[in-house]
């Protein structure tokens, strides 16, 4: 009888995959639905263009800091329990976002939602426990593809929702679905209580952005150990001090960037100096903390490997330029009235960005084949060149929605190739025993670069304005064409610099004999 009861409680791994994939779809859909809403949020809450960058930036900063911490907490206290807690926090963030009445409340809500990003590595870890090695690659591929599909779904639905019901509805639509999934996960998702995989969540979460070579992923260390034997060791591995100081580094640095574009007055100069000092001091503290801890967020010993360093920089430029141009700038350009913009609605934003999302989805499915067929360095090199060409064309031709949508296809291809190649370079160039740490850093650096992109765009958007007449004959200022030219030119130059790093990467890969062995055991 007991055996029969236990069998009834066993849930198929494929049902677990469907549930967790649904979680990924709604979370990613929620974020892409926000994109067409950014111009409406700016006007309703009277947010400046430079401050509007924090709508995206604060979510990425929180995600970057919390992902490694939550991953380790799930090893200590159980994957399902921590997943439900994080999902609950995310639901609270959605509800607070729908009730936001000014800039501070919205940013607070977005920071709470950013904690929800750390759900994904736990989901990957649960799948790794549920599926045998022979089927794990298929499960991870399906999960990653549904995440990319969620971006497409969110963009399509988001434009309609914002036009018909307003930007707050983007949060309210997802909240009840998330609550239902919370109950479904609590009821049907089961994780072993006696044994947990103490594996690297970072490598699994990297699949969110690109498929790494599954044959390599499956050879990573997946030693099963008892929770009770590792409780104390894992609790000590939480780099809380590093996470706090890293937050101060990024936030103070981003605020300094914002002040640099403002007119130089005595008050602004004082603030620039203060935030610059805070950024430098917190950076020094962060480096010292990371050098002393046994489980650092960023292991500088691994970054001494030039191959890994160059690959991380290339991947960082992917997040920086994509968030700066596609996510932050284009929605404002399309929604701004003539002659400052195109005078489009939220659906116009979705239509312009949809080709970019679809190409990203296609490459997320085909990336495994591409890496197996062409290797790592060649896609990276081609991607940097294609991305640079794409942004340069966008700099020259961005006077119509159709031309922007067409150019975004080129940009999407280039960025996808850059990320596919660079992430796999990191994976294949790191000794297996350090793969979790190395890929965790890769993800962290990517998210940090992504958080910088919107702030740079907001700085340019705020600096140059043009006065236009609104439909109610009220004079209103919007970013001028010079703002967009500077943003697209900056993206071109950053992408051009990535070509240089790709060349250095290629040279280092050619002379890599014995190079990887120089990475000592992190202590």
Please write the tens of the pLDDT for every residue from 15-57.
999 999 998 899 889 989 999 999 999 999 999 888 999 999 9
Q: What percent of the chain has pLDDT over 90?
A: 45
Is residue 234 predicted with pLDDT exceeding 90? no
Average pLDDT value for the chain: 83
Residue 93: per-residue pLDDT: 96
Q: Do 204 and 121 contact (CB within 8 A), yes or no?
A: yes
pLDDT classification of 194: cutoffs 50, 70, 90? very low
Which CATH superfamily is 11-239+293-512 part of?
MFS general substrate transporter like domains (1.20.1250.20)
Three-class HEC string of 467-491: EEECCCCCEEEEECHHHHHHHHHHH
Q: Do 385 and 418 contact (CB within 8 A), yes or no?
A: no
Q: What is the pTM of this model?
A: 0.83
Joined tokens for residue 305: 């490997």
Residue 471: per-residue pLDDT: 56
pLDDT classification of 119: cutoffs 50, 70, 90? confident
pLDDT classification of 301: cutoffs 50, 70, 90? confident
Residue where the block lists tokens 């793969």:
435
Of 55 and 128, the one with more pLDDT: 55
Residues 160-180, mean pLDDT to the nearest whole number: 94
Residue 427 CA: distances (Å) to CA of 200, 329, 423:
12, 32, 6
Q: If DSSP codes are grouped into helix, strand and coil, which group holds residue 305? A: coil
Residues 338-358, mean pLDDT to the nearest whole number: 90
Is residue 7 predicted with pLDDT exceeding 80? no
Residue 284: per-residue pLDDT: 94
pLDDT classification of 238: cutoffs 50, 70, 90? confident
Is residue 364 predicted with pLDDT exceeding 90? no
Residue 344 CA: distances (Å) to CA of 113, 331, 515:
28, 9, 53
Residue 142: per-residue pLDDT: 79
Residues 113-120, mean pLDDT to the nearest whole number: 87
Largest Cα span, the chain:
79
**Among 20-34, 134-148, 209-223, 244-258, which stretch is predicted with the lowest mean pLDDT?**
209-223
CA distance 523 to 437: 12
Is residue 375 predicted with pLDDT exceeding 80? yes
Residues 458-473, mean pLDDT to the nearest whole number: 77
Task: Say how many C-beta atoms besides its own lie within 10 A of residue 134's C-beta.
Answer: 8
CA distance 73 to 86: 11
Comparing CA positions, the residue from 127, 91, 117 lying closest to residue 18 is 127
What sign results for the dihedral spanned by CA atoms 326, 327, 328, 331?
positive
Contacts of 232 (CB under 8 A, 6+ apart): none
Is residue 422 predicted with pLDDT exceeding 50? yes
Residue 83 CA: distances (Å) to CA of 11, 95, 297, 463:
18, 18, 21, 42
């Amino acid at each position: 009888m007991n055996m029969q009861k236990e069998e009834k409680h066993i849930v198929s791994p494929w049902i677990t995959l469907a549930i967790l994939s649904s979680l990924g779809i709604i979370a990613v859909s929620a974020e892409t639905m926000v994109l067409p809403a950014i111009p409406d949020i700016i006007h309703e809450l009277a947010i400046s263009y430079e401050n509007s960058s924090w709508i995206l930036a604060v979510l990425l900063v929180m995600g970057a800091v919390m992902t490694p911490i939550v991953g380790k907490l799930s090893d200590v206290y159980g994957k399902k329990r921590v997943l439900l807690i994080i999902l609950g926090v995310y639901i609270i963030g959605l509800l607070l976002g729908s009730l936001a009445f000014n800039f501070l409340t919205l940013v607070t809500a977005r920071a709470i939602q950013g904690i929800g990003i750390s759900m994904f590595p736990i989901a990957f870890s649960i799948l790794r426990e549920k599926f045998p090695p022979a089927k794990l690659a298929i499960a991870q591929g399906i999960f990653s593809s549904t995440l990319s599909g969620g971006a497409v779904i969110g963009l399509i639905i988001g434009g309609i929702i914002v036009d018909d019901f307003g930007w707050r509805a983007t949060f309210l639509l997802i909240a009840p679905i998330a609550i239902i999934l919370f109950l479904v996960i609590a009821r049907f998702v089961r994780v072993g209580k006696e044994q947990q995989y103490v594996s690297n969540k970072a490598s699994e979460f990297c699949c969110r952005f690109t498929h790494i070579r599954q044959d390599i992923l499956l050879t990573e260390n997946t030693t099963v150990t008892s929770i009770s034997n590792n409780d104390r060791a894992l609790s000590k591995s939480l780099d809380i001090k590093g996470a706090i100081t890293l937050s101060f580094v990024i936030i103070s640095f981003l605020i300094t960037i914002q002040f640099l574009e403002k007119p130089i007055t005595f008050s602004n100069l004082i603030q620039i100096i203060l935030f610059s000092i805070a950024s430098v001091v917190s950076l020094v503290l962060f480096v010292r903390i990371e050098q002393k801890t046994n489980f650092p967020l960023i292991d500088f010993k691994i970054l001494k490997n030039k191959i890994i360093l160059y690959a991380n920089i290339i991947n960082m430029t992917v997040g920086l330029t994509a968030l700066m141009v596609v996510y932050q700038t284009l929605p404002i350009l399309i929604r701004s009235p003539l002659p400052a913009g195109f005078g489009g609605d939220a659906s116009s934003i979705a239509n312009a960005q949809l080709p970019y999302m679809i190409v990203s989805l296609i490459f997320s499915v085909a990336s495994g084949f591409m890496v197996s067929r062409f290797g790592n360095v060649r896609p990276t090199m081609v991607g940097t060149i294609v991305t640079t060409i794409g942004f340069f064309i966008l700099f020259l031709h961005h006077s119509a929605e159709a031309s922007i949508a067409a150019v975004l296809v080129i940009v999407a291809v280039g960025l996808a190739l850059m990320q596919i190649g660079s992430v796999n370079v990191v994976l294949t160039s790191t000794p297996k025993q350090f793969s979790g740490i190395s890929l965790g850093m890769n993800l962290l650096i990517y998210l940090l670069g992504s958080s910088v992109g919107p702030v740079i765009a907001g700085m340019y958007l705020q600096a140059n304005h043009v006065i236009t007449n609104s439909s109610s004959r009220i004079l209103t200022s919007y970013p001028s064409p010079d703002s967009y030219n500077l943003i697209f030119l900056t993206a071109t130059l950053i992408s051009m610099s990535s070509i240089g790093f790709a060349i250095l990467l290629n040279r280092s890969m050619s002379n890599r004999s014995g190079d990887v062995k120089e990475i000592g055991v992190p202590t």
